[in-house]
Amino acid sequence: MVTTALTAAVTSVATLVATAAAPFSNSLQRFIEQAPVSPLITVPASVGAIVIICCYPLWRGRVRTPGRWAAAVAAVALWPFHRIQWPQGLRSWAGRLLVPLAVGYIAACLGAFTGLVGLVVVKVVTPSGACEPPRELRVITAPENVTALRERAEAYTKEQRTDGCAPVRIAVGAAPTIEEMRYGFRNEWLRDDSLQNDEPYRRMLGLTPDAWIPTSSAEFDLVVQDVSVEETTKNGGVPGKTSSLRSLLHKRDEQVGTDHMAIAVFGAAKNDLLTGELESAGYPLAEIVQRARSKGMSLVYPQPAFSTSGAIVATTLSRAGPEPGGTGLRATFDNSANALLCHLKAGQEEAGDWAKLVALVPSHTADEYNRGGDMGIEGCAHNPLAGRAALTAVSSVDLPTLDYPFVEINWSDDPARRAALDAFVTWLAHNKLFEPSGEGPQPSYPARISADAARPGHRVDLQIMIDGSGSMARSPTASASALHDALAEVRQILTDTDQVSAGKFFADDKGTSKAPMAGEGDGGGGEGPGGYGEVLRWIADDRQSGFDEPISALIGGLSRPANSLAVITDGGPFNDEPGPGNAARSIRRALEKAADVSNLYILTFGGRCPDGLETPRSMRPSNDTSGPSEPVVKHVVCDDTAGTDVAGALGRMIFQFREWS
């Protein structure tokens, strides 16, 4: 009985000791595994020296002098040297150094041992203070809201820190277009099949988001609107996933921002447009447009197919009366309100007609523009603005409010993720992204978005001709593979009704003009000979090349030209135009003679546009006032693109053609 009790007691004590020592032993083991090489060498040496010193009295009796300690250590440490027959002089010299060497060895070993003990105490016994990995939340919103949301996310993360550790990290990204989200939310955040072309894998629309902050509830309503089986099947989706998205997307009751669409005008033109009479009337949009036309101004807004704010403006205009696309109202090729304002800034720097352009954008984007910075767009950085160069944003009784709801995306049922989202949205509802100014006319109705407004506008009949000269083939920017990838990327701004064909133009070694063509294709991305995918494959695979051919000869030699002609070149063909220095004149003359070609857009990579051809970046107000019975006005511009953004340049080109059409 007593033995059993003692055994149990000893076992319990041993268990408690082992449990208490487990964290220390585990930490010590991890430390030794991660330790550098030097401790692994010094530890055995130090322990060995201490054992030898402590055991020496057992070997030689009572130690009476320190010299015996030193002699013992030296005898062991220098034992190999005793086996060597040293010269007498060297043996005498080594004998005198025996004691200093032994003392130095002892000091070195003790120092290494002391340092190792201190390091073990610091690394193992003392808490390391390392933070647990934070939970990551991914939130998407419109591009013009990204900067404000990132600032709020950083402030929230800073407030949540405890002992220097943040429990959550919030990644903010730009949301795709409405059409892309309509497809992506129904197909596990994958891109539309028609945008894949010949790629053997599926691409996603970015990192899978945990939450989404729409610009308005109307954007949310349009995205979750049920999609028919026919529409889903046509776009390559899964018919079984056409049910409502209400179970996936949960719109919270909290509102995380309040703003309104505004009329933003530069200070230099403020007095010409914003009169006291119009202010008293609440700046009605129809009268603003009428006065802008009388002053030679244009009201511009972002491309509705890519920008929620642009789609809101287009929908508002269709309801309020002014027709978009006229001389006073038009969409630009910019994909966000910030991009539009940066475009206006570029026009200001180029001394264009920037004071004649008025933007319809969310009010906070004008404030952000005036504060300076890059607005989240490369190349847009600028100092704070005031006076003639600053924007004045005023509300209108005809422009709607923006409510910024918070939408939780329930890809999976994760209570920890939901708790983190709950805490963030509660904080964000008290620290809103945007607050209303309370000045000027106050809009009284929320934003609306029609499905048609969120799609590209006029049909484009486009023929793309690529410079087939040897210098173009060696272009580091606009190679065949780069053009293939860029055209695949801009596929999303083409519709099923757009007509697109492609070819090359060059002269052979005999001076004969050549213009091989790919099969004509539509924007539907079909895989047959008439599909957009066939055009892309032809551009990537065709290896025909020759010498520079004048663009004027190309225009006059096309057998089946489209209404809109795009020429992509490195600038070499300009030197072969008839008449030195008259390239612009000969190109214009050829365009006037071409009965079927109305629009010409020349895109140069690495070259310089000839004098006399306008650039699209000036964004001058359109002067196309031709009526149904008047001759069609022909357009020609030349864009000498700098940089490597081939897709961006092609996107601007297609938007310009759509505006001309």
DSSP per-residue letters across 579-618: STT-HHHHHHHHHHH-SS--EEEEEEESS-PPTT-B-GGG
Q: What is the pLDDT of residue 645?
A: 72
Q: What is the pLDDT of residue 173?
A: 94
Q: What is the pLDDT of residue 545?
A: 74
CA atoms of 435 and 438, how far apart (whole Å)? 9
Higher pLDDT residue, 13 or 439? Answer: 439
Q: What is the pLDDT of residue 164?
A: 82
Q: Which two tokens stand for residue 633?
A: 């006005």
**Number of helices and strands in the chain (H, E):** 22, 18
| Side-chain half-sphere exposure of 636, counting CA atoms within 13 A | 22
- The H or E element spanning position 405 is strand 405-409
Q: Which two tokens stand for residue 269?
A: 């033109």
Distance of CA 89 to the CA centre of its chain: 79
Mean pLDDT of the residues in the chain: 75
Q: Which two tokens stand for residue 497?
A: 């009704």
Q: What is the pLDDT of residue 65?
A: 46
Mean pLDDT: which of 228-237, 239-248, 376-385, 394-403 is highest?
A: 394-403
- DSSP secondary structure letter of residue 632: P
User: 519, 500 in Cβ contact below 8 A?
Assistant: no
**Which backbone phi and psi does 36 adopt, to 5 degrees?**
-70, 175
Q: What is the pLDDT of residue 239?
A: 42
| Side-chain half-sphere exposure of 170, counting CA atoms within 13 A | 25
| Side-chain half-sphere exposure of 265, counting CA atoms within 13 A | 20
Higher pLDDT residue, 658 or 338? Answer: 338
- DSSP secondary structure letter of residue 121: I
CA atoms of 362 and 261, how far apart (whole Å)? 4
The 10s digit of each residue's pLDDT in 564-592 is 899 988 888 888 888 767 888 999 999 99
- Name the least confident of 28-32, 465-469, 555-559: 28-32
How much is the average pLDDT of 2-21? 52
Q: What is the pLDDT of residue 461?
A: 85
Label residue 55 by pLDDT band (50, 70, 90): very low
Q: What is the largest CA-CA distance in the chain?
A: 126
CA atoms of 495 and 305, how far apart (whole Å)? 11
| Predicted structure pTM score | 0.67
The pLDDT > 70 percentage for the chain reads 66
User: 288, 297 in Cβ contact below 8 A?
Assistant: no
Whether pLDDT at 82 is above 70: no
- Name the least confident of 225-229, 442-446, 555-559: 225-229
Cβ neighbours of residue 621 closer than 8 Å, sequence gap 6 or more: 296, 297, 298, 327, 353, 356, 357
Q: How many Cβ atoms sit within 10 Å of the Cβ of residue 98?
A: 17
Q: How many Cβ atoms sit within 10 Å of the Cβ of residue 490?
A: 18
Whether pLDDT at 44 is above 60: no
Q: What is the pLDDT of residue 125?
A: 54
Q: What is the pLDDT of residue 428?
A: 96
- Residue of 397, 437, 363, 391 whose CA lies nearest to 287: 397
Q: What is the SS3 assignment for 21-38?
A: HHHHHHHHHHHHHHCCHH
Label residue 431 by pLDDT band (50, 70, 90): very high
Whether pLDDT at 553 is above 60: yes
How much is the average pLDDT of 397-415? 92
CA atoms of 295 and 357, how far apart (whole Å)? 11
- The H or E element spanning position 465 is strand 461-467
Strands 461-467 and 499-507: parallel
The 10s digit of each residue's pLDDT in 86-127 is 566 655 665 566 566 666 667 776 777 777 676 666 555 555
CA atoms of 71 and 59, how far apart (whole Å)? 13
- Residue of 237, 183, 227, 245 whose CA lies nearest to 408: 245
Q: What is the pLDDT of residue 620?
A: 46
Burial of residue 393 (number of CB atoms within 10 Å: 0-12, 13-18, 19+):
buried
Whether pLDDT at 488 is above 50: yes
CA atoms of 234 and 229, how far apart (whole Å)? 8
Q: How many Cβ atoms sit within 10 Å of the Cβ of residue 506?
A: 24
The 10s digit of each residue's pLDDT in 230-289 is 444 444 444 444 446 778 999 999 999 999 999 999 877 888 888 888 888 888 888 888
Mean pLDDT: which of 39-53, 161-175, 287-301, 432-446 is highest?
A: 161-175
**Which backbone phi and psi does 277 adopt, to 5 degrees?**
-65, -45
Phi and psi based region of residue 386 (left: phi greater than 0; alpha: psi -120 to 50; beta: remaining): beta
- Name the least confident of 13-27, 204-218, 243-257, 481-495: 13-27
Q: How many Cβ atoms sit within 10 Å of the Cβ of residue 337?
A: 33
Whether pLDDT at 543 is above 80: no
Cβ neighbours of residue 37 closer than 8 Å, sequence gap 6 or more: none
Q: What is the pLDDT of residue 18?
A: 54
- The H or E element spanning position 56 is helix 37-60
Q: What is the pLDDT of residue 209?
A: 95
Label residue 312 by pLDDT band (50, 70, 90): very high
User: 210, 417 in Cβ contact below 8 A?
Assistant: yes
| Side-chain half-sphere exposure of 575, counting CA atoms within 13 A | 9
Q: Which two tokens stand for residue 251?
A: 């719109």
3-state secondary structure of 492: helix
Q: What is the pLDDT of residue 200?
A: 59
Label residue 624 by pLDDT band (50, 70, 90): very low
- Name the least confident of 49-63, 78-92, 586-600: 49-63
Whether pLDDT at 633 is above 80: no
CA atoms of 138 and 149, how far apart (whole Å)? 12
Label residue 138 by pLDDT band (50, 70, 90): very high
Whether pLDDT at 154 is above 90: yes
How much is the average pLDDT of 473-478? 72
Helices (H), 436-531: 470-473, 480-489
